[in-house]
Amino acid sequence: MPAAPLKNADPTTTSVLTIDLGALRANYRALRDLAPGAECAAVIKAYAYGIGTEQAVRALSKEDCKTYFVATFSEAQTVRNAAPDATVYVLDGFFSGSGPAFAEARIRPVLSCIAEVIDWAAYCKGKGEPLPAAIQLETGMNRLGLPISEAVTLVNATETLNAFTPALLMSHLACGDEPENSMNKAQLKAFEDMRALFPPCPASFANSAGIFLGESYHFDVTRAGFALYGGRAVNDQTPLAQIVQCHARITQIHEGQAGETVGYGAAHTLTRPTKIATLSLGYADGILRCLGASDGKSGLSGYIDGHRAPVLGRVSMDLITLDVTDIPDALAERGNWVEILGDHTSVDDLAIQAGTIGYEVLTSLGHRAQRIYIDAETGAA
Ligand SMILES: *Cc1c(COP(=O)(O)O)cnc(C)c1O
């Protein structure tokens, strides 16, 4: 410490996200190998879960990843620019009038209700080209997808079905993170039953957690998201390699006296003479406000060269304060780097402390930090 990549931090920078694209690639290979009979597609919605869409696509393309799922059309355009030949699906909605934009960028909608199917079919018919799209089936989420009644209607509407190319039949697990949950098998059965109604078509069912549920969940294409980014996709399981580290620089050191308070709301009273380090990092950077401390409640910890520094008081928008009393003076100095996410604290650790899931922590990490992309595998920084 400071971790090697921080030598590349700008002198003006107060916080750094270090993103290991080599680890991302290794995680991709691991997930692909867990479902050897299927193609492993990457889910890179929400700025690739916060790590950077273009960088993720370029790294995954090196592993020959050919199919990407995003949430929105603008995300799909970013993927298209970074990977001109990739297959790109937009998960969350297709509206009439957007056909030309999809067609022009060769982006495929995931059609999740009969109205979307009809709109896409009408557009393709008008264009005279049976363009590809995925069809999402409702198997238990009640969120997106054709329920069985609409699926039956569609299967009998041959003209609609023939106007475009159904390239993928898909559905999504509600409880994949709980391998024993009976919902998994129920959804699998519903998916198989509905799929059998359609003419033969490649199928996709498993998100990260589903990949770990075994072969019967894999079908033709898996959709790996959170696990790719080092998250714990299945409860109690050791996740794949962490790919994100977060460090912030000590902006100032204060000496506080017993009985004084720290931060907004004067919510945390010092119980001893305390050396306080202020870091330029706050909830606007994705360090959730509930990770603060107050009298009787502990919060997150930072680490300086392996020494733990617990947070004092509330997390503010741009600042947090840590107790560095027990850390050697030479380490707890203005300008030194403190690890917030890294060897000692994973995204999931922080999530547990915050009472949320790692997905939220990862996607909250702001865009204000300097991002340093490394590839620990190849040594490139
Ligand atoms: C987000 C998402 C995924 C990826 O899920 P992870 O749990 O992050 O692997 C897969 N499929 C759909 C439909 C999604 O919305």
Choice from 223, 228, 360 to test ligand 1 binding pocket (greatest atom count within 8 A of CB): 223
For ligand 1, the distance from its centroid to the CA atom of residue 259, given in whole angstroms, is: 49
Residues listed for the chain: 381
Is the CB of residue 245 less than 8 Å from the CB of residue 229? Answer: no
Q: Read off the CATH number of the domain in which 43 is found.
A: 3.20.20.10
Is the CB of residue 23 less than 8 Å from the CB of residue 31? Answer: no
Q: How far apart are CA 340 and CA 302, in angstroms?
A: 5
Domain with 58 in it: 35-229
What's phi and psi for 14, nearest 5 deg? -105, -20
Peptide bond into 2 cis (omega under 30): yes
Q: Would residue 110 count as lying in a domain? A: yes
Interval 63-71 mean pLDDT? 98
DSSP string, 250-317: EEEEEEE-TT-EESGGG-EE-SS-EEEEEES--GGGT--GGG--BTTB---EEEETTEEEEEES---S
pLDDT at position 277 is 98
For ligand 1, the distance from its centroid to the CA atom of residue 54, given in whole angstroms, is: 19
Domain end, chosen from 177, 197, 229, is at 229
Structure confidence by residue, pLDDT tens digits, 186-214: 999 999 999 999 999 999 999 999 999 99
**Residue 4 — pLDDT band, cuts 50, 70, 90?**
low
Q: Does residue 312 sit in the same domain as residue 225?
A: no
Residue 275 has pLDDT above 50, yes or no: yes
Is the CB of residue 244 less than 8 Å from the CB of residue 277? Answer: no
Q: Would residue 321 count as lying in a domain? A: yes
Interval 105-124 mean pLDDT? 97
List residues near ligand 1 (CB under 6 A).
43, 45, 91, 172, 207-209, 223-227, 233
pLDDT at position 2 is 45
Provide the mean pLDDT of the chain: 95
DSSP-based three-state secondary structure for 42: strand
Q: Does residue 88 sit in the same domain as residue 185?
A: yes
Choice from 89, 177, 204, 207 to test ligand 1 binding pocket (greatest atom count within 8 A of CB): 207
Interval 76-100 mean pLDDT? 97
Q: Would residue 12 count as lying in a domain? A: no
Among protein residues, the one whose CA lies closest to atom 6 of ligand 1: 225
Q: Would residue 15 count as lying in a domain? A: no
Residue 381 has pLDDT above 80, yes or no: no
Please write down the HEC assignment for all residues of 123-146: HHHHHCCCCEEEEEECCCCCCCCE
Q: Would residue 236 count as lying in a domain? A: no
Among protein residues, the one whose CA lies closest to atom 13 of ligand 1: 172
Q: Would residue 234 count as lying in a domain? A: no
Q: Does residue 139 sit in the same domain as residue 216?
A: yes
Q: Which residues are catalytic?
A: 45, 264
